[in-house]
Structure 1
Amino acid sequence: MTTPYATPRARALGLELRAARERRRLGVRELARLLGMTPGFVTNWERGLRLPKPEDIGAVLAHCRVIGPDRRRIVEMARGAREQDWIDSGGEEPYLEWERTADAVFGWEPEVVPPLLQTSGYARALLSSAAGVVADEVDARVAERLSRRAVLDSGTRCVLVLGETALHKRIGGAEAMAEQLRHLRERLAEGKVEVRVVPADRHPDLGRGFTIFDFADLPSIVHERLLRESASSSSPARVAKYREVAETLLKLSLPKPETDALLESALRKLSVP
């Protein structure tokens, strides 16, 4: 049996090791020299292609001066990093890295506009009411969310599907929602990202959104947000099941002219000039 590599947890561990090295201002070659090994080992650890042994993790953290709770968290993350399924209650850093480095992104959101398509007013309204987001952090979180739009202009193939329900919710009030709908129409006309809408009368029984990330030389990852956690998997069988759902959503979604007409209809209902 082939040992799974580049699992979601292994890649998240690699991000932690890279961040620790960069905070210490150590280059890959310099850290490799301190560890007494070739730079390729460090690079593969940070990409999640290989898993460091417990003693290697200890040495990296020692050279990077990671102590206390951060050290314990990273050591714990390394346990079970070979498993293809990962339930995480931490931050968004792994997801954002996958989004930034993927060759293709498929996203499904049944109730809200996908983050990559959100305007500042819409994002602010969502983040202001989100659990765990402190009021002082909202501005920074909105700016971060808007900066993610760069993915849409980077050549990454993005297919973003949303449920019709998302078009009729007045998130942030009528004016903010009107701005959001206009932005969706602009992105639709622009063509850099494929925007699809699934009508309410065709809506499949899918309560949660999910994202599929495809990479040039690494296994695909499917990510799903749970209530207070997230589930990520590189299991080929699980990814294949989500691809089947993605194909169903695309078949149920409206073609471009009808999508534009639906957006225009939703905009008129807001009665905003």
Structure 2
Amino acid sequence: MVVPYATPRARALGLELRAAREKRKLGVRELARLLGIAPGFLSNWERGVRLPKPEDVGAVLAHCRIVGEERHRIVEMARGAQETNWLGTSTEGAYLEWEKTATALFAWEPLLVHDLLQTSSYSRIVLRSPGVENVERLVAARLARREVFERGKLAECAVVLGEAALRKRVGGPEVMADQLRYLRSVLEYDHIDLRIMPLDNDYHPGLSGAFSIFDFADLPTIVYEELSNESAHSSSTVRVRHYRSAAKSIKDLSLRGDRARELIDRILRGLVE
């Protein structure tokens, strides 16, 4: 029986191995034959439910012609990949995979509109910074991710935005007015539970910062936190339990339906008057 490690780091390592194989245009069976292992082993490595040793990772990368710093980085991912907590940089690929494959999502964003709910104009302002190239490509990619919401691919989807995210005039009144109108339309979606946390609420666990909870059909839950210049991922049952409790408190204190709509309309009137 396969030991279902499936820690965030093990799954991110699996994504790297799969990407290396696909870049080399090798099938699972073909690469497994070259490695002298059963195809099932390789598939489980790529899913993160079984952990390859660093030397196994090195062998995979050798056949995929991955060398230098890239090879070193991926091999190092295999060390400590059994740990349920993972703090790392450059984890966007892993995050996008959690987003794409999750069956349920809870997201709390106190200060900015969540990525998947941003309009193109709002995204353009958020993504534009010194040294960032191809902003339009990044905006298009972010908008394409809306499929997760708009096509109802998630069995459950709850997003709570802080009122501060709606009042912050990102890009100026016109950009924010357009953004608020879009959020108002999202309130009509049956498959998205969009809520707003009022500024005048007392202390609540969301004051510690933004986080997301991803649930999957046959793999452990992952809690994700975006920090200042790195990201924290965890599948620890203790941390998952803690963040589920925080998510429930945040949802219970937030406005939904007509009350959320009234708040958005009130902020919108302040922008256009």
Give the TM-score range, shorter chain: over 0.9
CA deviation after TM superposition for structure 1 residue 82, in Å: 0.4
Alignment correspondent of 1:201: 200
Structure 2 Cα separation of the partners of residues 62 and 135 of structure 1: 32
Alignment correspondent of 2:180: 181
CA contact (8 A) 2:163 2:198 kept: yes
CA deviation after TM superposition for structure 1 residue 68, in Å: 0.3
Structure 2 Cα separation of the partners of residues 52 and 169 of structure 1: 46
Structure 2 Cα separation of the partners of residues 135 and 228 of structure 1: 15
Q: What is the count of residue pairs matched by the alignment?
A: 268
Structure 2 Cα separation of the partners of residues 55 and 9 of structure 1: 17
Structure 2 Cα separation of the partners of residues 35 and 154 of structure 1: 40
CA deviation after TM superposition for structure 1 residue 49, in Å: 0.4
What amino acid is the match of 2:177?
A: A
Structure 1 Cα separation of the partners of residues 122 and 208 of structure 2: 21
Matched, 1:155 2:153: yes
Instruction: State the 4+ residue runs in structure 1 displaced beyond 4 angstroms.
Output: none
What amino acid is the match of 2:176?
A: M
Q: What SS is found at the alignment partner of 1:172?
A: coil
Structure 1 Cα separation of the partners of residues 260 and 174 of structure 2: 21
Superposed CA RMSD: 1.5
| Superposition map of 1:113-192 within 5 A | 113-129=113-129, 134-152=131-149, 153-156=151-154, 157-192=156-191
CA contact (8 A) 2:20 2:66 kept: yes
Alignment correspondent of 1:221: 222
CA contact (8 A) 1:4 1:83 kept: no
Matched, 1:82 2:79: no
Structure 1 Cα separation of the partners of residues 14 and 124 of structure 2: 31
Percent identity over the alignment is: 57
Alignment correspondent of 1:23: 23
Structure 2 unpaired stretches of 5+: none
Structure 1 unpaired stretches of 5+: none
Deviations 1:168-218 (A, max 9, x none): 111111111111001001111122311000111115251420000000100
With normalisation by structure 1, the TM-score equals 0.94
| Superposition map of 1:38-117 within 5 A | 38-117=38-117
Structure 1 Cα separation of the partners of residues 241 and 30 of structure 2: 41
Alignment correspondent of 1:244: 245
Structure 2 Cα separation of the partners of residues 223 and 84 of structure 1: 12
